[in-house]
Amino acid sequence: MMKILPIEQNQSTNLFIQAPYQKEKIFLSSPHMTGNEMKYINEAFDTNWIAPIGPNVDKFEAELAAYTGAAAGAALSSGTAAIHLALHLLGVGKGDRVFCSSLTFVASANPILYEGAEPVFIDAEEQTWNMSPAALRKAFVASAEEGKLPKAVIVVNLYGQSAQMDELLEICNEYGVPIIEDAAESLGSLYKGRSSGTLGKFGIYSFNGNKIITASSGGMLISNDAQALVKARFLASQAKDPAPYYKHHEVGYNYRMSNILAGVGRAQLEAIEDRVNARRAIYARYAEAFKDIEAIEFQPELEDTRSNRWLSAFTLNTDITALTPENIKRALETEEIESRNIWNPLHQQELFKDAPFYKDGDGEAVSEKIFRCGLCLPSGSNMTAAQQNRVIRVIKNLFNN
Ligand SMILES: *Cc1c(COP(=O)(O)O)cnc(C)c1O
């Protein structure tokens, strides 16, 4: 029979947990459970709703709609799927044009390609790091001259900060083009008292593992057009027509959220305000700790908005420091601390090399500058003060030497 060693004699376990040179890893943003997740998962098991349909899915949709103030929500397998369905519902198809923020994760724009449409990328501005109204205006003027307006505009709320929605909406309304708000990173954020994600025709949230709340994976499409969401749920379940046999008249997708994962999402949503407060407190501690380091400029919070501060992100003023984001990232890495570059603007990606791009101003694109000078710090709501102090010490040491 195999002899099981007591744990203290198990060398590999000991090495990992106790060796003094093995520092505890600090992650950028790791899942933070509330303790209620198993309750809803067990409900799913007890009632045998182990399917992409069931009470947790219905309740998660209703609870998220209530929290954000949207008329309704459709729970989906991912935020990317939600963007895809939003484009589909707006009739975006082959050869159509779609405007999209450039400074974002590739998932914001991939669904444009799924539909065979053509992305046009819009630069960022300095006040929120999101879509520049000036650049959006230029793109619309050029498109109108060509006689080919976009079918939709995808506006991203980066790292939890809302874009200048009033200005963007005014331009889009002038041309009669709907906005899809990519609020994957901004659940819990506010724009002039309204929930981030509810200002456009459609909004999308993501519950991927590193987002402010997670269902391990998943997404939600929200809208004040409840009828459009009925259509979204239909498309997300293989577009099965109501009939006593299998009947289909249009293409569908397998995009519904699992009833088990919706249970995780429900428990997580109960804690959203706590999570926002925790991330904002983490940001506030960074801001306080680095207030004397002039070269560090955090992502601004626009007046009359509340960012959930999903990630505390800053740019380095390279006019006054010789340090680069890469220097900081490497120093943190040595101490087992994860940090991340800002999203690499999509207009710079090989994948989108043929896509037009409109800049905010005349010099270096704002999105390129934020990418070149920026960094995201560990911001998880479950990070302890001691852990955050480790992050702060490493960065302060770099600037003091
Ligand atoms: C995470 C994210 C997405 C994609 O969400 P998934 O649920 O991972 O598909 C889309 N846009 C942005 C800006 C994101 O950060």
Domains and CATH numbers, the chain: 37-269 (3.40.640.10), 272-400 (3.90.1150.10)
What mean pLDDT comes out for the span 341-362? 98
pLDDT at 18 over 90: no
CA 189 from centre of chain: 12
Alpha carbon distance 199, 222 (integer Å): 10
Look at residues 149, 150, 131 and name the one whose alpha carbon lies nearest to residue 199: 131
Alpha carbon distance 75, 265 (integer Å): 10
Is any ligand 1 atom within 6 A of the Cβ of residue 105?
yes
The predicted pLDDT at position 22 comes to 66
Q: 173 CA to middle of ligand 1, Å?
A: 26
295-330 pLDDT per residue, tens: 999 999 999 999 999 999 999 999 999 999 999 999
Alpha carbon distance 82, 209 (integer Å): 17
SS3 assignment, position 153? strand
237-293 pLDDT per residue, tens: 999 999 999 999 999 999 999 999 999 999 999 999 999 999 999 999 999 999 999
Across-strand partners of 341?
A: 375
What are the helix (H) ranges across 162-208?
165-175
Position in ligand 1 atom list of the atom nearest CA 218: 7
The predicted pLDDT at position 23 comes to 83
List all residues 6 or more positions away from 400 whose beta carbon is below 8 Å from its beta carbon: none
Q: 158 CA to middle of ligand 1, Å?
A: 11
Q: Grade residue 20 by pLDDT with cuts at 50, 70 and 90.
A: low
Is any ligand 1 atom within 6 A of the Cβ of residue 108?
yes
What mean pLDDT comes out for the span 14-20? 46
The predicted pLDDT at position 21 comes to 56
- Rg of the chain's alpha carbons, rounded to an integer? 23
pLDDT at 152 over 60: yes
Say if residues 265 and 57 touch (Cβ distance below 8 Å): no
Is any ligand 1 atom within 6 A of the Cβ of residue 31?
no
Is any ligand 1 atom within 6 A of the Cβ of residue 156?
yes
Is any ligand 1 atom within 6 A of the Cβ of residue 104?
yes
Q: 259 CA to middle of ligand 1, Å?
A: 20
Is any ligand 1 atom within 6 A of the Cβ of residue 80?
yes
The predicted pLDDT at position 47 comes to 95
CA torsion angle 28 29 30 35 (round to 10): 150
What mean pLDDT comes out for the span 163-192? 98
- The full length of the chain comes to 401
pLDDT at 17 over 90: no
Alpha carbon distance 233, 178 (integer Å): 20
Q: 85 CA to middle of ligand 1, Å?
A: 14
Given the residues 59, 151, 211, 369, the one annotated as active site: 211
CA torsion angle 142 146 147 151 (round to 10): -60
pLDDT at 114 over 60: yes
Q: Whose CA is nearest to atom 2 of ligand 1?
A: 184
Alpha carbon distance 310, 379 (integer Å): 7
pLDDT at 99 over 50: yes
Q: 289 CA to middle of ligand 1, Å?
A: 30
Between vectors from CA 168 to CA 166 and to CA 171, what angle results, nearest 5°? 105
Is any ligand 1 atom within 6 A of the Cβ of residue 185?
yes
Residue type at 312 in one-letter notation: S
pLDDT at 347 over 70: yes
Please tell me whether the overall predicted TM-score, pTM, comes out greater than 0.85 for this model: yes
pLDDT at 223 over 70: yes
SS3 assignment, position 261? helix
Alpha carbon distance 82, 78 (integer Å): 6
97-101/152-156 β-pairing: parallel
DSSP 257: P
Look at residues 52, 32, 38 and name the one whose alpha carbon lies nearest to residue 219: 52
List all residues 6 or more positions away from 289 whose beta carbon is below 8 Å from its beta carbon: 392, 396
Q: Whose CA is nearest to atom 5 of ligand 1?
A: 79
pLDDT at 43 over 60: yes
Percent of the chain with pLDDT over 90: 94
The predicted pLDDT at position 212 comes to 97
